[in-house]
Amino acid sequence: MKLTRRNLIANSVLGAITGGALTRMGSGSIQDSGDERFDPWIEVSAEALKFNLKQLQSLAGKRPVLAVVKNNAYGLGLVPTALLLEQEPGVLGFAVVKVDAALALRAGGIKKPILHMGTSSLDAAREMVEKEIQLSLYREDEAERIKQIKRKTEKAILAHLYLDTGLGRLGMPYHRASDWITELAKRSDLSIQGCFMGFTEDPEFDRVQLRRFVELAAELKTRGVDVGRLHAASSNGVYHVPEARLDMVRPGISLYGAYPTSPKEEMAMAELRPALSMRCRVVRVEQLRKGDAAGYGRKYVATEPTWIATLPAGHVDGVPRDFVKGARVLIGKDSYPIVGAVSASHCMVELGPERSVELGQVATILGPEHPDIHPSQQSLATGVSVYDVLMHLNPALPKTYA
């Protein structure tokens, strides 16, 4: 088969829907997960997604949510997670940063608005416009690009204006934006749906950024320019910059149950439930003698007879190497430390002087069942960013949704 963009998108859609293996929409208990597989899998909870959405909306004064599902929905699986969230009336639409993700959402059955928060080639922009995907505008040459897009489509061009108020990553610099926006707003071939920015997440400077943003919006309003819905607050902003909640909020990681910045403080403001569980089954239980080692580099050496359980999950699956610095795994009712070294396909946990687990028993590395395995706790214990904990999960891991 000839490799074309459309074929590539079709394959990526299939991968997004199946997670690289058969995706099952249904129930599956911890002790009975379908095929009794040993290799790792992911379970996604629709109830936890719904709970987190309600918590964030309550915190944000019932404002609508533009759900950020970038980077494979933070590890949960792009299309299935978006389909679950689309059922909720509080979700206005979805935001992604890659063209293929935007197209995969539409091909996967998403009907609500989709915002592509980046730039693209003209061909990709035309394809997104045909699929009624909203573009982000921030380049000096957007007027010319819009003209060229419109030559080949009868569809309305829907877009949000992306402003750089100090993050320095993407966006039209705010101090050059007023005349640029005024000219774009005159175009009959463009419908401006919103205007947005991103914070540096430096608490003091965030206020400076927000002031720049709202002052520009106010100036444009005096000129008679309508820039649509204003949005600035990501998960961190929803929690820590209440003035930035504006017309809608744009959370990502907190929808999936992880705290963005300061878990203890944020938990007191609005509780979240991990919507993802990462599990596998124990593949070996063995007693080390005094002086025996576990893992590459002999970084763990038993000082007394000690039982070790081996799990078939390693850094290729998304278990960070630094999880040996304090992460724990739930097996049965108890949690145990990861020790030695996380290899590509395996990690090991220290059980102690007694054999307390058995071959084939389910081990949960991330999930809601115990405080020790909450993604934010694993992050705090090891120094691994909670964003890395979730977004570096292997997208090919089998997933179930219930």
Give mean pLDDT, residues 91-119: 98
pLDDT tops 90 at residue 108: yes
Asked whether the predicted pLDDT for residue 301 surpasses 60, the reply is: yes
Residue 237: is its pLDDT beyond 80?
A: yes
- The single-letter code of the amino acid at 269 is M
Examine the pLDDT at 270 and tell me if it is beyond 60.
yes
| 7 against 364, higher pLDDT | 364
Look at residue 191 in the predicted model and tell me its pLDDT.
97
pLDDT score, position 16: 44
Residue 67, pLDDT above cutoff 70: yes
What pLDDT sits at residue 24? 54
For residue 267, give every residue at least 6 positions away whose Cβ sits within 8 Å of its Cβ, in sequence order, or none.
259
Mean pLDDT over 352-356 rounds to 97
Q: What pLDDT is recorded for position 2?
A: 40
- Mean per-residue pLDDT, 289-293: 97
Is the fold of 46-262 the same as that of 276-401? no
Mean pLDDT score across all residues of the chain: 93
Domain segments of the chain as ranges: 46-262, 276-401
Burial of 321 (0-12, 13-18, 19+ CB in 10 A): middle
Query: Per-residue pLDDT averaged across 340-365, rounded?
Result: 97
pLDDT at site 36: 85
Strands (E), 144-301: 157-164, 172-173, 190-196, 229-231, 276-281, 284-288, 293-294, 300-301
pTM for the whole thing?
A: 0.91
Segment 167-185 mean pLDDT: 98
Contact 369, 330 (CB under 8 A): yes
Read off the pLDDT of each residue in 382-400 and give the average, rounded to a whole number.
98
CA distance linking residue 183 with residue 166, whole number of Å: 23
Among 380, 376, 356, smallest CA distance to 366 is for: 376
Cβ atoms 254, 260 nearer than 8 A: yes
Indicate the pLDDT class of residue 272, thresholds 50, 70 and 90. very high
Q: Is the pLDDT of residue 234 over 60?
A: yes
For residue 214, is pLDDT > 80?
Answer: yes
Supply the pLDDT for residue 35.
63
For residue 25, pLDDT over 70 is answered with no
Q: Among the CATH numbers 2.40.37.10, 3.40.50.1700, 2.40.100.10, 1.20.1250.20, which is that of 276-401? A: 2.40.37.10
Distance between CA 250 and CA 211 in Å, rounded? 18
Q: Among the residues of 137-176, which ranges form H helices? A: 142-150
Between CA 311 and CA 173 the distance in angstroms is 49
Predicted pLDDT at 30: 42
Decide if pLDDT at 5 tops 60.
no
Model pLDDT, residue 389: 98
Read off the pLDDT band of 53 (50, 70, 90): very high
Right CATH for 46-262 from 3.10.200.10, 3.20.20.10, 3.40.1160.10, 1.10.3720.10: 3.20.20.10
Q: Is residue 59 predicted with pLDDT exceeding 80?
A: yes
pLDDT given at position 23: 54
Give the C-alpha separation, 89 to 64, whole Å: 9
